[in-house]
A and B are shown apart, each in its own frame.
Chain A
């Protein structure tokens, strides 16, 4: 593998873009309104170009990624703060890679979709208060600059393989999002922004305690303290310690995801944010929570993860049903979509904590698909709202007659939300449910009920907004413009393509899921899905030959034969000295 620092470069490009945007002349610079518009256009073009470059770079990374290779690829490890044992360490496994790819796909889409959002906020505010001195327009400059800064942090948070570095990105990404909601949002934006920040900050600070404690435990026995994930995952922790640390991490991720009952910030934040910011919030930031669960909660604290699994399963199922039921009752389009996300995120956590290969592979794929599907829904709803200037479902009706393209794409995105076969979410939802059913039948059955509810909230919303007689207010509603079509078309295409042919994504995801399951000492309870069993058999036999002699201390007593060889293979590969204190699977 080449030593070119792909991940660092991909992460740095948006930051450079943000700096470039910051250096363009601002709104206060002299010039006529036309000059101002030209400057704003320059900013938007810069944002688009830099996000496209980043996308191209991550596609290169994805192409160069070898699914059969070591777990973490494109690794770079440099000392950052030796006093704290902190490294600048990046690297991706399959799970992180697909999430990075999703983020970088969403970013140009969001830039295109938000093209005129900033001006509209300013215009709306001015017209709302004509008596007052016209407010100086909000600057497109800082909005797009913050968006790119956020992209850097998104790549960083998924790519970090040092827990401290992860935490830094995890917390720091709150700041741009906070300003994006608070400064550029609509409605109760201040309230929503503060609620979002305080919720996330509280969770993050509890995690900080766990992060520090993890470091302190890594110094026990005279070791040099470290935050490197690969070393921490071999740490021997007592079950009690694991439970506390697990909770510290888990609460932060549960707030971020958000898992019921920590979800209340999300509908407010997503409703108040601009559609573009809402896409990033729900599409990417939420995934940081579920990503954190699968990467950190499971791999670092396996026995605690097993201990808390029943609790998480219950919360997830409640979240699925609660989110769906509440979504049905919403009168506000964006709020409705936000509640569907609560429901879907419950499905993702369910898949993760089912601790089966289908469940976790499905959950990971679902993270990606949910990003695209909900992103498309939010963007299309945003287009609709920007035309009619109303969030309320009741204010629409018969849109499909005046704007058929908008309505058609909205339907596709909506159907992806209810997991129609042939669309990408179906594959992931199916995998999650199958993976859950093999271990927790009741949970899977209840979760399936959530899909029925999904059909209600999506189709009923579609029916109320798009069908029926054309309301007078929407009679002149223009259909999608070329820019808007270009923004949303890639997402719709991806939803369809991944629905028909999800193999490339699954190929990348599966090995990472297997190492996670090995790390958490879990195995599939029944003869697993034939395809994945074959794949695993193949990978085990092909790599076992090349692996070094397995360490003699592998916990053969707890793992049955087929998994044992994989366990030993992985352990030999990592050539570690410490051994994780495993609970019985």
Chain B
């Protein structure tokens, strides 16, 4: 089964680590540690530029290393789907590398938002420890302080995200989950404006996240009791033999599923998403909405395809139910939203439902469709949040939808690009969103889930309404007298928006390269 030395040797041997196979993650974690050192030793003026260079550089470097790994033939020699590295804890295979590469690119674009230098647009509080509204807070603002800790924290989170979908045993997966979550809990509370809301969001996210981690851990315990191992492949083998008590197995699947679906934000585990997306600093929301979603879906796919791949018939009905309520609840509640970030949060919930239809297909087409969808959605969502950071009134971001009225007349370009993202979310052809939807729906129909697809398109039609309403507001309504202004972004945010828009259009018109990459990545599923 596994090819590691330690697992098969009877004597205690030095663990053998395939450093090169882990290099992308090691680079990101290393850069995160270096970031902590910068924070400790570098002079205050130099910190920010050093962090930006280090963070962007390490993400780009890790991306290159991932591509190099994907091109390395020795991993896939003899038609293998990949190899298991680091004493059986990390799987290195094509879907994982695809997911990691996606996370790295999306994280790169998100960091561009985080690095926004203009004082006006910066989303982070100067002093997180200062009580909102206090004198210290004002002093910090005046002194022009900034929390440069966000960069190492982000890198730690991204490192966790890279490990999460790669983890080949459940304990590693749990650790990755914590590594990715803890920095995010902190980052959520760092918003510059409306700080109480931000702190509330962080608190909520932390509490609910801690619950879900506990449930996840409980599920691991159940599965360990069932299979006598936390390795995904061992669980799969045990499930196939069917000797042990299936109660433990099903309880384990359910609890593990809850933990994963929480991160994905599927109904009924979605409650945190709107509040957290709304309260967090918008660049962090963009990071969560894109990278965390990709990572969580990666882990979900791996667990359900590898460990429970033989049990499709057992988990599919429950997953059907989750997908249906996720699509419907996400799209229906989105209609009532009046805050742009909350709207995007509910839209993200519904999109998670569409991706779940691809997961449910449980075939290579479903995997490749989900991979494509995740990449396409990630770019559009970062772009959308980037625009949210630009539309501002006196109190900061003009989050309330009514103040977006007439934006199309004041700033046609910004409003037009935002409309493009909304049209992509709505799945209109010639945008990436349509091709993504098409890919997962096709896989679902091939997998026999036609009713699910019908519900999916009904949900899409419902979800189109809130998007269209925003477009109506922006283009067809008169501008409000005291409306928001669109600030001129620095090159960072501008670049992030441009990347998001370009990806949305290009993946809409010529999706073939990425599609065949995804399909190539998914052709042999995950390594076991």
* A interface with B by C-beta (< 8 Å): 80-84, 135-136, 167-169, 171-172, 174-175, 178-179, 182-183, 189-190, 193-194, 197-198, 201-202, 205-206, 208-209, 212-213, 215-216, 219
**Are A193 and B442 also in contact (CB < 8 A) when A82-B516, A208-B457 are?**
no
Q: Mark B474-509, 1 if CB is under 8 A from A, else 0.
A: 011110000000000000000000000000000000
**Are A83 and B512 also in contact (CB < 8 A) when A194-B468, A205-B460 are?**
yes
* B442 x A84 contact (CB < 8 A): yes
A146 to chain B, nearest CB (A): 12
Check B441 for interface membership: any CB of A closer than 8 A: yes
* A193 x B476 contact (CB < 8 A): yes
Q: Which of B28-67 contact A (CB under 8 A)?
A: none
Residue in contact with B430 in the complex, picked from A82, A168, A206, CB distance below 8 Å? A168
21 A-B pairs in the complex with CB atoms less than 8 angstroms apart: A81-B515, A82-B516, A84-B439, A84-B515, A135-B409, A167-B429, A168-B434, A174-B428, A175-B428, A182-B471, A182-B472, A189-B476, A190-B476, A194-B469, A198-B464, A198-B468, A201-B426, A208-B438, A209-B445, A209-B454, A213-B450
In the complex, which residues of chain B have a beta carbon less than 8 angstroms from the beta carbon of A80? 512
B118 to chain A, nearest CB (A): 23
Chief secondary structure at chain A's binding surface: helix
In the complex, which residues of chain A have a beta carbon less than 8 angstroms from the beta carbon of B434? 168, 171
Q: Mark B419-436, 1 if CB is under 8 A from A, else 0.
A: 000010011111000110
Expressed in whole angstroms, the Cα–Cα distance for A212 and B464 within the complex equals 20
Expressed in whole angstroms, the Cα–Cα distance for A212 and B469 within the complex equals 28
Check B74 for interface membership: any CB of A closer than 8 A: no
Q: B408 — nearest CB in chain A belongs to which residue? A: A183
Check B446 for interface membership: any CB of A closer than 8 A: yes
Expressed in whole angstroms, the Cα–Cα distance for A216 and B464 within the complex equals 26
Expressed in whole angstroms, the Cα–Cα distance for A193 and B430 within the complex equals 21
**Are A179 and B475 also in contact (CB < 8 A) when A83-B515, A172-B430, A216-B442 are?**
yes
Give 6 new A-B contacts, CB below 8 A, not counting A83-B519, A215-B442.
Answer: A81-B512, A135-B478, A167-B429, A171-B429, A190-B472, A213-B445
* A216 x B446 contact (CB < 8 A): yes
Expressed in whole angstroms, the Cα–Cα distance for A178 and B446 within the complex equals 33
* B476 x A182 contact (CB < 8 A): yes
B367 to chain A, nearest CB (A): 13
Q: Mark B452-471, 1 if CB is under 8 A from A, else 0.
A: 01100110110011001101
In the complex, which residues of chain A have a beta carbon less than 8 angstroms from the beta carbon of B468? 178, 194, 197-198
Expressed in whole angstroms, the Cα–Cα distance for A544 and B457 within the complex equals 46
* B465 x A198 contact (CB < 8 A): yes
Interface size range on B against A = 35 or more
Expressed in whole angstroms, the Cα–Cα distance for A196 and B471 within the complex equals 14
Expressed in whole angstroms, the Cα–Cα distance for A86 and B484 within the complex equals 44
Check B511 for interface membership: any CB of A closer than 8 A: yes
In the complex, which residues of chain B have a beta carbon less than 8 angstroms from the beta carbon of A83? 511-512, 515-516, 519
Q: A181 — nearest CB in chain B belongs to which residue? A: B476
Q: A28 — nearest CB in chain B belongs to which residue? A: B412
In the complex, which residues of chain B have a beta carbon less than 8 angstroms from the beta carbon of A136? 409
Expressed in whole angstroms, the Cα–Cα distance for A219 and B445 within the complex equals 12
Q: A26 — nearest CB in chain B belongs to which residue? A: B412
Residue in contact with A193 in the complex, picked from B446, B472, B516, CB distance below 8 Å? B472
Closest 5 CB pairs of A and B: A205-B457, A168-B429, A83-B515, A202-B461, A182-B476
In the complex, which residues of chain A have a beta carbon less than 8 angstroms from the beta carbon of B475? 179, 182-183
Expressed in whole angstroms, the Cα–Cα distance for A198 and B458 within the complex equals 11
In the complex, which residues of chain A have a beta carbon less than 8 angstroms from the beta carbon of B477? 190
In the complex, which residues of chain A have a beta carbon less than 8 angstroms from the beta carbon of B429? 167-169, 171-172
In the complex, which residues of chain A have a beta carbon less than 8 angstroms from the beta carbon of B519? 83
* B428 x A183 contact (CB < 8 A): no
A70 to chain B, nearest CB (A): 29
Chief secondary structure at chain B's binding surface: helix
Expressed in whole angstroms, the Cα–Cα distance for A198 and B511 within the complex equals 26
A465 to chain B, nearest CB (A): 30
In the complex, which residues of chain B have a beta carbon less than 8 angstroms from the beta carbon of A209? 441, 445, 450, 453-454, 457
Give the one of B430, B476, B478, B519 with max A CB within 10 A: B476
Give the one of B409, B442, B464, B515 with max A CB within 10 A: B442
* A212 x B461 contact (CB < 8 A): no
* A201 x B516 contact (CB < 8 A): no
* B472 x A212 contact (CB < 8 A): no
Expressed in whole angstroms, the Cα–Cα distance for A171 and B516 within the complex equals 25
Q: A197 — nearest CB in chain B belongs to which residue? A: B468
Expressed in whole angstroms, the Cα–Cα distance for A340 and B469 within the complex equals 30
* B476 x A212 contact (CB < 8 A): no
**Are A172 and B512 also in contact (CB < 8 A) when A194-B468, A194-B472 are?**
no
**Are A201 and B445 also in contact (CB < 8 A) when A182-B472, A182-B475 are?**
no
In the complex, which residues of chain A have a beta carbon less than 8 angstroms from the beta carbon of B461? 198, 201-202, 205
Expressed in whole angstroms, the Cα–Cα distance for A167 and B519 within the complex equals 23
Expressed in whole angstroms, the Cα–Cα distance for A167 and B450 within the complex equals 19
* B512 x A208 contact (CB < 8 A): no
Residue in contact with B464 in the complex, picked from A179, A193, A197, CB distance below 8 Å? A197
Expressed in whole angstroms, the Cα–Cα distance for A81 and B438 within the complex equals 12
* A208 x B441 contact (CB < 8 A): yes
In the complex, which residues of chain A have a beta carbon less than 8 angstroms from the beta carbon of B446? 216, 219
Expressed in whole angstroms, the Cα–Cα distance for A136 and B410 within the complex equals 9
In the complex, which residues of chain A have a beta carbon less than 8 angstroms from the beta carbon of B516? 82-83
* B428 x A171 contact (CB < 8 A): yes
In the complex, which residues of chain A have a beta carbon less than 8 angstroms from the beta carbon of B458? 202, 205
**Are A212 and B441 also in contact (CB < 8 A) when A172-B428, A182-B476, A201-B464 are?**
yes
Expressed in whole angstroms, the Cα–Cα distance for A522 and B384 within the complex equals 52
Expressed in whole angstroms, the Cα–Cα distance for A216 and B445 within the complex equals 7
* A212 x B453 contact (CB < 8 A): yes
Expressed in whole angstroms, the Cα–Cα distance for A216 and B478 within the complex equals 47
Q: B453 — nearest CB in chain A belongs to which residue? A: A209
In the complex, which residues of chain B have a beta carbon less than 8 angstroms from the beta carbon of A179? 475
B520 to chain A, nearest CB (A): 10
Expressed in whole angstroms, the Cα–Cα distance for A174 and B409 within the complex equals 21
Expressed in whole angstroms, the Cα–Cα distance for A222 and B511 within the complex equals 24
A39 to chain B, nearest CB (A): 16
Expressed in whole angstroms, the Cα–Cα distance for A81 and B372 within the complex equals 14
Q: Mark B374-413, 1 if CB is under 8 A from A, else 0.
A: 0000000000000000000000000000000000110000
In the complex, which residues of chain A have a beta carbon less than 8 angstroms from the beta carbon of B460? 205
Q: A213 — nearest CB in chain B belongs to which residue? A: B445
* A212 x B438 contact (CB < 8 A): yes
Expressed in whole angstroms, the Cα–Cα distance for A197 and B469 within the complex equals 11
A67 to chain B, nearest CB (A): 33
In the complex, which residues of chain A have a beta carbon less than 8 angstroms from the beta carbon of B428? 171-172, 174-175, 201
Expressed in whole angstroms, the Cα–Cα distance for A219 and B512 within the complex equals 19
Q: A81 — nearest CB in chain B belongs to which residue? A: B512
Q: A133 — nearest CB in chain B belongs to which residue? A: B481
In the complex, which residues of chain A have a beta carbon less than 8 angstroms from the beta carbon of B441? 208-209, 212
In the complex, which residues of chain A have a beta carbon less than 8 angstroms from the beta carbon of B427? 205
In the complex, which residues of chain B have a beta carbon less than 8 angstroms from the beta carbon of A168? 429-430, 434
In the complex, which residues of chain B have a beta carbon less than 8 angstroms from the beta carbon of A82? 512, 516
Q: Mark B51-91, 1 if CB is under 8 A from A, else 0.
A: 00000000000000000000000000000000000000000
* A206 x B515 contact (CB < 8 A): no
**Are A212 and B512 also in contact (CB < 8 A) when A135-B478, A172-B428, A197-B464 are?**
no
Expressed in whole angstroms, the Cα–Cα distance for A193 and B475 within the complex equals 12
Expressed in whole angstroms, the Cα–Cα distance for A197 and B461 within the complex equals 10
* B476 x A84 contact (CB < 8 A): no
Expressed in whole angstroms, the Cα–Cα distance for A171 and B431 within the complex equals 11
Q: A135 — nearest CB in chain B belongs to which residue? A: B478
Q: B517 — nearest CB in chain A belongs to which residue? A: A83
Residue in contact with B423 in the complex, picked from A84, A175, A190, CB distance below 8 Å? A175
Expressed in whole angstroms, the Cα–Cα distance for A213 and B430 within the complex equals 20
In the complex, which residues of chain B have a beta carbon less than 8 angstroms from the beta carbon of A167? 429
In the complex, which residues of chain A have a beta carbon less than 8 angstroms from the beta carbon of B476? 182-183, 189-190, 193
A244 to chain B, nearest CB (A): 9
Q: Mark B210-246, 1 if CB is under 8 A from A, else 0.
A: 0000000000000000000000000000000000000
**Are A206 and B457 also in contact (CB < 8 A) when A136-B409, A216-B442 are?**
yes
